[in-house]
Structure 1
Amino acid sequence: MPDAPEPVRWPDPATEVDAPDPAPFASSATSPLDAHAMAALLRSVGLSDDEIAEARSHRHLELLAIEHLVLPETPSHDLAEISEATGLSAELIAQMWRSLGFVEPRRGDRIFTEFDVGMLSTIGRFLDMGMIDDDLIVQMARVIGSSLARVASALVDAIDPAEPTNHHLGATEHGDDDFAAVAPVLLPTLLQVMDFVWRRHVQAEARARMAREHAGTDPDHRAVGFADLVGFTALSQQVTAHELAAVVDRFEAIAYDTVSRLGGRVVKMIGDEVMFSVADVRAAAEIALTLSETYRDDDELSDVRVGLAAGPVLQREADLFGPVVNRASRIVNIAFPGAVVCSEEVHEALADEPGLVWKTIGPRNLKNIGRIPLFVLRREAVAEPDHANHEEAEHRRAERRAARVAEIAARREERHRRRSAGEDEAPAAPTDGPEPKET
């Protein structure tokens, strides 16, 4: 059997691009960034003075720098040429490209680099050795492409000062353009972080599967829950994009922290809704109750309603499918704010579990499912809610949320104002200490 192909090495912008030493820019958090040094950095990756000036006028310096630092090679091959160079059919390359989430290459478009040639040649050798097949390549391309597209989008959002987020990479009191200065060091570090996280996830998945096999549990039996943020649609029509971004960030942070801490997995975020899963039904109940309590007590968010179901599911590419998923999704739509509503299977599994109190709400008609018995789950120590006190508390929380998002928006607008006043000028030194850190 021939030796396995050598892996293709990704070009390192920190060492293989003729860029200035990033050390001089490390002080940009305490002193204004020199405009000439910034221009030198951008010229070093092949940008002309006209391109730099145009990007500056449109406030796109960060994005322009990232575009050239991430993949410094110039595209030089079209689909036919890369097919000939790699030995792979043009049809397979185009299918892989689509599966990765990119626009299908048109005839004659030179969009492929020498790095692409090397990577596809390696895949071709694996195909020739029979280690992988076309279907597996396309499937993995689909998973990798969709996952990394989210990572890339989040990264660019954090870089682009025009995006409605309240935390930006490289942002300092002297302006968001400082990111372009630290990019040659930061980008390779982010690649290392992604590699580390990937290794950790592969290890965790292997361990989880071994544990399930050792315990003799059915790997396809899962508890699935949905938590929906109450009033999000109405809120989204009343606040600015910056304020809405603050709400979404907070909602996601609580969801990921709570679900992971209690042994579950966030399957996906769907706008104002989180889908989670866990093998143990008792753990699922704890996650559902804790989510309800945590959002209820948060000053910046409204209540959530939670739907929970359990049973066999189809697991594919880290997502879940089947009737159990559909049931949980439909249940959450009929739950009251702050309530955890469960299917009959969850109730049967936990009916005698100490510390839990159940209340039947009778059979309810779920869209495209039919009438099924449903149950409200509460902790034993929690009494029936006092609706008058709840409304008063919610009013106070709404006032605090409004004040908080207004404060965040004001800080963001101040940074934009200072950038517009002159990117080459250092702002006046603050008289009352540094700007408060956003949390």
Structure 2
Amino acid sequence: MAPERTPKKGKPRARTSSRKKSEARRPGEQLDDAILRSKPELSALEVAAETGITIDQTRRLWRALGFPEFVGEKAYTTADVEAVATLMGFVDAGAVDFDMAVNLTRGVGQTMARLADWEVSTLVHRVEELESGDEATGSRIGSALRLINEVNPPFEDLLIYAWRRHLAAAVGRIEAMGAKDEDLHTIDVTVGFADLVSFTALSNTLDREEIGDLVEVFESRCQDVVARYAGRIIKSLGDSVLFVTGGAEDGIAVAEGIINVIGRDAKMPDVRLGLASGPVIQRLGDIFGPPVNMAARLTQVARRNRLIVDQNTADLLPPAEWESRRLPARPVRGFGLVEPVAVRRR
């Protein structure tokens, strides 16, 4: 019996500590309640019992969503129980196995975490505007609650709409980009990498708001150009963007567009671009393979506001419309000596 009593002695202290912290954050709890629409009142063991899964499965799903584990704490809501029950419903039906369900959950967690940070950082500015204007409530919490009530319901509808549109587009891309019959994860694409020149040195001369504005302009302009040519941004890293297109000509059009809207803007840093073509593996919203690495390496040897491509990309261009010129061989990390190619329309 002693082993059971020892944890019980420790739990009240942990809850007391959590209660003191909650009291210190009580204004924030109003926002939590407004967003979650229910209060945490269940432990992980209770969630497992309610849904019929093991405690280890509960913890795997929670970690996959991107949250730390809560041992013995009342950290879960009835909505969490409903979400687990829904997920396990199509696992039990045989649509996917549990490991696949965890992977899907991880994708949702990573995507929603970034979207939530994006939404909050955007709305923070609106809260400041409300509190400094005629519609001030007397506290930031008041304005934040008002925004949540006005923005969240229609925004949730927008999320479902956008997810369906992107799901349809993703399914279409598998066929349009030539997914291999033996492996639907493998597609033939042109991979592009755009990199801002001397971003680290420049960021040391800017304040945090200026850096944020610079990154936002860079990413949004790149997104607009990539979308225009039916491409897709795979990920952005602040000073660089990785994108794919279905063909070499579209890839070059995107690269030239990025140079025009970034490199030709005197208020923006210069940019370098590299393109490489070939089969890549799709996993968890990312892509992997030699073309990805080659495109990234080519940006390191490209000149400012210039595009260079690999030989595979040059070979995909119609000779009657494009001319190519091999550049001097240079060492490229991971590939040895490589002859980049410069291309231009005839």
TM-score bracket, normalised by the shorter chain, equals 0.7 to 0.9
Given residue 329 of structure 2, which amino acid in structure 1 is its aligned partner? Answer: P
SS in 1 for 2:316: helix
Identity of aligned residues (%): 28
Match of 1:110 in 2: 74
Given residue 326 of structure 1, which amino acid in structure 2 is its aligned partner? Answer: N
For residues 258 and 116 of structure 2, the distance between their equivalents in structure 1, rounded to whole angstroms, comes to 28
For residues 94 and 193 of structure 1, the distance between their equivalents in structure 2, rounded to whole angstroms, comes to 30
Given residue 152 of structure 2, which amino acid in structure 1 is its aligned partner? Answer: L
TM-score by length of structure 1 reads 0.66
Residue in structure 1 matching 2:117, options 148, 153, 159: 153
In structure 2, relative to structure 1, the CA distance for the partners of 1:64 and 1:338 (3 Å cut) is: farther
Residue in structure 1 matching 2:105, options 141, 164, 167: 141
Match of 2:190 in 1: 223
For residues 163 and 220 of structure 2, the distance between their equivalents in structure 1, rounded to whole angstroms, comes to 20
Does residue 1:373 correspond to 2:331, yes or no?
no
For residues 311 and 176 of structure 2, the distance between their equivalents in structure 1, rounded to whole angstroms, comes to 27
Does residue 1:307 correspond to 2:265, yes or no?
no
Per-residue displacement from partner, 1:194-224 (whole Å, max 9, x unpaired)?
A: 111111111222333344569x9x9611100
For residues 213 and 320 of structure 1, the distance between their equivalents in structure 2, rounded to whole angstroms, comes to 15
In structure 2, relative to structure 1, the CA distance for the partners of 1:185 and 1:170 (3 Å cut) is: farther
What is the root-mean-square deviation of aligned Cα atoms in Å?
A: 2.5
In structure 2, relative to structure 1, the CA distance for the partners of 1:212 and 1:220 (3 Å cut) is: closer
Residue in structure 2 matching 1:273, options 209, 230, 240: 240
Any runs of at least 4 consecutive aligned residues in structure 1 with deviations exceeding 6 A, and if so which?
A: none
What are the residue-to-residue correspondences of 1:2-151 with 2, within 5 Å?
65-106=30-71, 108-151=72-115
Contact 2:195 2:271 in 1 (8 A): yes
Shift of 1:227: 0.4
Contact 2:177 2:188 in 1 (8 A): no
Shift of 1:114: 1.2
SS in 1 for 2:235: strand
Contact 2:38 2:78 in 1 (8 A): yes
In structure 2, relative to structure 1, the CA distance for the partners of 1:307 and 1:212 (3 Å cut) is: closer
Contact 1:224 1:276 in 2 (8 A): yes
Contact 1:281 1:349 in 2 (8 A): yes
Shift of 1:259: 0.6
For residues 145 and 85 of structure 1, the distance between their equivalents in structure 2, rounded to whole angstroms, comes to 22
For residues 29 and 128 of structure 2, the distance between their equivalents in structure 1, rounded to whole angstroms, comes to 15
Residue in structure 2 matching 1:363, options 329, 342, 345: 329
Match of 1:198 in 2: 163
Shift of 1:64: 5.4
| Bigger fraction of residues in helix | 2
Gaps in structure 2 of 5+ consecutive residues: 1-21
Residue in structure 2 matching 1:319, options 286, 289, 301: 286
In structure 2, relative to structure 1, the CA distance for the partners of 1:353 and 1:90 (3 Å cut) is: farther
For residues 208 and 169 of structure 1, the distance between their equivalents in structure 2, rounded to whole angstroms, comes to 39
Match of 2:10 in 1: none
Given residue 223 of structure 2, which amino acid in structure 1 is its aligned partner? Answer: Y
For residues 233 and 146 of structure 1, the distance between their equivalents in structure 2, rounded to whole angstroms, comes to 26
For residues 212 and 343 of structure 1, the distance between their equivalents in structure 2, rounded to whole angstroms, comes to 19
For residues 202 and 147 of structure 2, the distance between their equivalents in structure 1, rounded to whole angstroms, comes to 37
Greater RCO structure (CA 8 Å; 6+ sep):
1
Given residue 203 of structure 2, which amino acid in structure 1 is its aligned partner? Answer: S
Does residue 1:188 correspond to 2:153, yes or no?
yes
Contact 2:190 2:246 in 1 (8 A): yes
Contact 2:42 2:76 in 1 (8 A): yes
Aligned length, in residue pairs? 314
For residues 142 and 112 of structure 1, the distance between their equivalents in structure 2, rounded to whole angstroms, comes to 18
TM-score by length of structure 2 reads 0.83
SS in 2 for 1:184: helix
Contact 1:363 1:374 in 2 (8 A): yes
Given residue 346 of structure 1, which amino acid in structure 2 is its aligned partner? Answer: T
Contact 1:170 1:179 in 2 (8 A): no
Which moved further from structure 2: 71-80 or 143-152?
71-80
In structure 2, relative to structure 1, the CA distance for the partners of 1:213 and 1:248 (3 Å cut) is: closer
